[in-house]
Chains A and B, each alone.
Chain A
Amino acid sequence: DAKTTQPNSMESNEEEPVHLPCNHSTISGTDYIHWYRQLPSQGPEYVIHGLTSNVNNRMASLAIAEDRKSSTLILHRATLRDAAVYYCILPRGGSQGNLIFGKGTKLSVKP
Chain B
Amino acid sequence: NAGVTQTPKFQVLKTGQSMTLQCAQDMNHEYMSWYRQDPGMGLRLIHYSVGAGITDQGEVPNGYNVSRSTTEDFPLRLLSAAPSQTSVYFCASSYSYYPEGSYNSPLHFGNGTRLTVT
- Answer whether A97 and B97 are a contact pair too, CB < 8 Å, given A44-B90, A87-B42: yes
B90 contact set on A, CB distance < 8 A: 43-44
Q: Are A101 and B35 in contact, with the CB atoms below 8 A?
A: yes
| Complex alpha-carbon distance, A100 and B94, angstroms | 15
Q: How many B residues face the partner with a CB closer than 8 A?
A: 32
Q: Are B109 and A97 in contact, with the CB atoms below 8 A?
A: no
Within 8 A of B (CB), among A75-111: 87, 91-92, 94-104
B112 to chain A, nearest CB (A): 6
Q: Mark B90-118, 1 if CB is under 8 A from A, else 0.
A: 10101001111111101111111000000
> Is A49 located at the chain interface by the 8 A CB criterion?
yes
Q: Are A44 and B103 in contact, with the CB atoms below 8 A?
A: no
B40 contact set on A, CB distance < 8 A: 103
- Answer whether A97 and B48 are a contact pair too, CB < 8 Å, given A30-B100, A30-B101, A44-B90: yes
Q: Which of B41, B59, B100 contacts A96 (CB 8 A)?
A: B100
Q: Are A44 and B98 in contact, with the CB atoms below 8 A?
A: no
Q: Are A100 and B103 in contact, with the CB atoms below 8 A?
A: no
Q: Mark B56-92, 1 if CB is under 8 A from A, else 0.
A: 0011000000000000000000000000000000101
A36 contact set on B, CB distance < 8 A: 107
B89 to chain A, nearest CB (A): 10
> Is B13 located at the chain interface by the 8 A CB criterion?
no
